[in-house]
Amino acid sequence: MQKYVVNAVILHINNVAIKLNELPGTMGEERRKNRIPRIEVLLIGVFFLSVIMWSMARCSRQRQLMRTQEVTMKAPDSTLFAPKKDTALPPTTTPHIVPIRRTRLYVTINNLKLRAHPSLKGQVIATLPLYEEVFFLDEVTSKRDTINLGYEVAIEPWVKVRTQKGKVGWVYGAGVDFYKYKRSGVLE
């Protein structure tokens, strides 16, 4: 019986709340009024998001235009600047030769042998002291040789280099590096 009475009271309270929400000037209208600012905030957010997306698209188009203008400015059409057929060409001069910059390597093993061929059997051209600067000539053997350095076994290719004195030859890859240091593990 008590459950029946409790259910009846709850049902009555729900009916009263529904009727109050339907009356003008009650809590129901206030809730509707509070929803309007939420919708306005949502609309304003969507507007700003669309403005940001539009401006990003516009900026990317501007960047593309600027890049194409830079390319055309860097590489002008040669026909625009071709000399007229009537005019005499200036006398030709010898071209200015720019030396090629090579990658610097440093000898990391004292008395490293510069050889004529990339092998331990190759003729020794020079003996390079520790920390000497040599220049890499963009050639490396595809085969890696295993050589016992004393306390360490290295598996490296042979590298073609040019010395400061102009001698060109091959050194073992473990004997040179981009940084100036003494390789540990080498028996002296």
Mean pLDDT confidence for 138-157? 90
- Residues contacting residue 119 through CB under 8 Å, at least 6 positions apart: 145, 158, 170
- Start-end of CATH 2.30.30.40 domains in the chain: 103-177
Structure confidence by residue, pLDDT tens digits, 77-129:
444 445 555 555 566 566 665 566 678 999 999 999 999 999 999 999 999 99
Mean pLDDT confidence for 20-24? 54
Mean pLDDT confidence for 133-154? 90
pLDDT score recorded for residue 40: 80
CATH no., domain 103-177: 2.30.30.40
Cα gap 81→96, rounded to integer Å = 22
Of 57, 179, 158, the closest CA to residue 108 belongs to 179
pTM over cut 0.85: no
pLDDT score recorded for residue 5: 47
Cα gap 114→165, rounded to integer Å = 12
